[in-house]
């Protein structure tokens, strides 16, 4: 794909909003598209925070489960779909990190 044919950030943001609206209506193919677009970045965010691939994979799964369940709560006036998805992943990762730190370590 050349720079001339690559979609602009605004075009991607608008497509993401349309996809998320379809997810809110129960369209699993729209969720698949968002997953294909953002799962690698979500994984990277989670891996950077947690440092364990298995936990990062769990965060990816839970992130897109929440996207599926909470798509109707997205407010476009507050930001882009991508930022919303990354925020979910970040929050889940931090929550998991806190859980890991609060557990007693075995000797």
Residue 80: the pLDDT is 96
Residue 53: the pLDDT is 97
The pTM for the full model equals 0.86
Residue 10: the pLDDT is 85
**Are residues 20 and 28 in contact, defined by beta-carbon separation less than 8 angstroms?**
no
Assigned token pair, 2: 């050349």
pLDDT (tens place) for every residue of the chain, 107 residues total: 555 556 688 899 999 999 999 999 999 999 999 999 999 999 999 999 999 999 999 999 999 999 999 999 999 899 999 999 999 999 999 999 999 888 776 66
Shortest CA distance to 43 belongs to which of 27, 62, 28, 29? 62
Name the phi and psi angles at 4, rounded to 5.
Answer: -70, -30
Count of all residues that appear for the chain in the document: 107
Residue 39: the pLDDT is 98
């Amino acid at each position: 794909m050349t720079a001339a044919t690559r979609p602009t950030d605004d075009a991607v943001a608008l497509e993401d909003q349309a996809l998320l609206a379809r997810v809110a209506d129960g369209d699993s193919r729209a969720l698949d598209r968002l997953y294909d677009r953002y799962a690698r970045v979500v994984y990277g965010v989670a891996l950077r925070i947690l440092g364990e691939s298995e936990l990062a994979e769990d965060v990816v799964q839970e992130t897109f489960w929440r996207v599926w369940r909470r798509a109707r709560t997205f407010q476009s006036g507050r930001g882009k779909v991508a930022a919303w998805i990354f925020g979910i992943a970040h929050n889940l990762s931090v929550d998991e990190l806190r859980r890991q730190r609060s557990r007693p370590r075995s000797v």
